[in-house]
Structure 1
Amino acid sequence: MVEAADAYLATFNAAGPQRTELLTRHWSPSATYTDPLAEVAGHDGIAALIDGVQAQFPGAVFSRLGEPDAHHRQLRFRWGLGPDGAEPVVVGFDVLVLDEDGRIRDVLGFLDRVPG
């Protein structure tokens, strides 16, 4: 299940055809994403959300902080967003729920630290 967390973060770091391929391979077509700032569904909604995050934080990279905790078809993990190799500017905690094929079906996101 660690692979799902890594695929999730890779999707948020990708753009263009690479992101489309990651969405197709690792995300259910009806996937939902909900956090305190956004609620979107489907590959197009998720891609638009990622475009917005990348525009707000140009050059920043998402990385996993620690090891995911998983059971059944769900996992939770912490992530950071910031310059590659530097202290994250944003820190969050997400729960992924996978479908029966192991693709990301639902994302429930929480923001632990955001810039003022």
Structure 2
Amino acid sequence: MSYGMMIALQLDKPEIFSRLWKWVKSYMTLPTGHENEGYFIWSCGLDGHPNSDGPAPDGEEYFAAALLLAEKRWKIKEYGDEARALLHAMVHKGENQDGFPMFEPKKHLY
């Protein structure tokens, strides 16, 4: 889905981008209380049924990048806010709650 969002962004298709993001938030968001809360499942069926219960770093990176670029292109602040929340989880997850960051803090890759 994140790759689709990036393609919709590059083709300047805000309606498609919005529909994809809405679907992601409806069906792929990991639930409150899950150790990976704040991330998205990496695989699900067309009906939204999850095929996994964990995230994939490339998906989260593409979601964040697409949302930040969409904020700039279409002047929709909410996209940027959602990207920054995701990026915060990717860096700080596990500090005060369950789960793990996407980036190893000791490697200083952020």
Instruction: Give the TM-score normalised by structure 2.
Output: 0.28
Instruction: Give the TM-score normalised by structure 1.
Output: 0.27
Higher relative contact order (CA 8 A, sep 6+): 1
Structure with higher Rg: it is: 2
Compare the two structures and name the one with the higher strand fraction.
1
Compare the two structures and name the one with the higher helix fraction.
2
